[in-house]
Amino acid sequence: MSWKRHDTVASAYESRVASGEFSPDPAQVQLAARLDVLLEAVSNQRLATKSSALGWMFGRKKTAKVPRGLYVHGAVGRGKTMLMDMFFELVPAKRKRRAHFHDFMADAHARIHAHRQKLKNGETKETDPVPPVAAQLFDEAWVLCFDEFSVTDIADAMLLSRLFEQLFKLGCVLVATSNVEPDQLYRDGLNRQLFLPFVGLLKDNVDILNLDARTDYRMEMTTKLPVYHRLSEGEGEAAMDGAWKQVTAGKQTAPETVQMKGREVAVPQAGAGAARFGFSDLCDKPLGAADYAAVAQRYHTVFVDHVPLMKDAGRNATKRFITLVDTLYDRKNRLFVSAVAAPEELAEGTTGTERFEFDRTASRLNEMQSEAYLEASRANETGNGADPA
């Protein structure tokens, strides 16, 4: 939905409340007002920079105070992403980027790898890839909006401090949503003490806001359309087969492969813009956010059969499933699932970080069954693996 007819996040939010989509919440109203303060600051920064024809050329040397960004954390489904997306669409900067955190980091790692290849081939003499990569990223977008800031990968954890030290120096403004406060990022992570300087860096450059909204608005929207099927009810497999036939419209399906940076992701069944996998095909193999993004780009609809309880899946498979759902959700792909239990029951028996992180996944699995989400996914089908015939 476009909010460009509005001038502020607050007015865009009020319009959505007036439409009856949900009831107003004081915490959400407060966040909308805080985002509007940042919206004005970014707008003023942009105008100040544009006042000189050479503004952007000397932008990195300017002494103008960079607006403090915003890190919004709170329980799942409280409206963090919705409000951030309103801000992103209204912010006037042309050089802006809205991305899932995992996708952004995959991009940064790919650029670092490319720089190292250039160094190896004698195409550059700069031995440290982080400053030039940060400069590339900043030149493309000085306003960054991250959805679901959650650090689980040690490679990401080790890179964050150095990368964002450069980005903040250049004048980057960061807006991020997360389910955890900064001090809880990368909790229980390997060599976490090496990650902690990033937390201090983050606090120096962004304001921290806890969105303590009263309810999970995703659950209010959920209408339980038949895209999630419980195997324990005895009809899951038949229902998935029936849905597959309907989605593919009886067209011939066959195994395919998705190319991803020199390797392949095997797709057991594909056709008519849809792909069908078993849970093990996607979560028991060494796949990551970039692989799932490639699948999401290729197919508008994804089927995942036989999702087990997370305690039975194992820690690595659980993390991959969380990343998979995040990736499909962020791109508004339609997801059909057969699982041994309801979304909120899949994490039973798990403990620690995995159980904590899975709360968001369960909430998103519920929202992905809602009429509003499915309408958005249908709007995305054309041009995203959709079969025009």
- CATH number for the domain that contains residue 267: 3.40.50
Render the burial of 34-48: b for 16+ CB within 10 Å, e for the rest: bbbebbebbeebbee
pTM over 0.85: no
Residue 359 near residue 76 (C-beta atoms within 8 A) = yes
Residue 188 near residue 157 (C-beta atoms within 8 A) = no
Whether residues 361 and 269 share a domain: the answer is yes
Is residue 1, in this structure, part of any structural domain at all? Answer: no
Is residue 278, in this structure, part of any structural domain at all? Answer: yes
Whether residues 63 and 110 share a domain: the answer is yes
Pick the last residue of a domain from 183, 210, 237.
210
Find the CATH number of the domain harbouring 183: 3.40.50.300
Whether residues 96 and 24 share a domain: the answer is yes
Q: What is the dihedral of CA 227, 229, 235, 239, to 10 degrees?
A: 20
Pick the last residue of a domain from 210, 239, 268.
210
Whether residues 283 and 178 share a domain: the answer is no
Tens-digit pLDDT string for the chain (389 aa): 455 567 899 999 999 888 877 788 899 999 999 999 999 999 988 766 654 434 444 444 445 689 999 999 988 778 898 899 999 999 999 999 998 888 899 899 999 999 999 999 999 999 999 999 999 999 999 999 998 798 878 889 999 999 999 999 999 999 999 988 999 999 888 889 999 999 999 999 999 999 987 766 655 554 445 788 888 766 678 889 988 888 887 677 889 988 876 778 999 999 888 999 999 999 999 999 999 999 998 899 999 999 999 988 888 999 999 999 999 999 999 999 999 999 989 988 776 667 777 888 999 999 988 888 887 777 666 445 443 33
Residue 246 near residue 271 (C-beta atoms within 8 A) = no
Whether residues 195 and 258 share a domain: the answer is no
CA 352/CA 358 separation, integer angstroms: 10
Q: What is the dihedral of CA 18, 363, 324, 183, to 10 degrees?
A: 100
Whether residues 51 and 168 share a domain: the answer is yes
Tell me the residue range of the domain where 346 lies: 222-380
Is residue 385, in this structure, part of any structural domain at all? Answer: no
Whether residues 142 and 110 share a domain: the answer is yes
Whether residues 205 and 226 share a domain: the answer is no
Is residue 117, in this structure, part of any structural domain at all? Answer: yes
Tens digit of each residue's pLDDT (9 = 90 or more) over 86-122: 999 999 999 999 988 888 998 999 999 999 999 999 9
Is residue 139, in this structure, part of any structural domain at all? Answer: yes
CA dihedral sign of residues 305, 309, 313, 317 = positive
Q: How many domains does the chain have?
A: 2
Is residue 197, in this structure, part of any structural domain at all? Answer: yes
Is residue 22, in this structure, part of any structural domain at all? Answer: yes
Whether residues 52 and 124 share a domain: the answer is yes
Whether residues 97 and 239 share a domain: the answer is no
Whether residues 129 and 58 share a domain: the answer is yes
Pick the last residue of a domain from 184, 210, 236.
210
Whether residues 187 and 241 share a domain: the answer is no
Is residue 386, in this structure, part of any structural domain at all? Answer: no
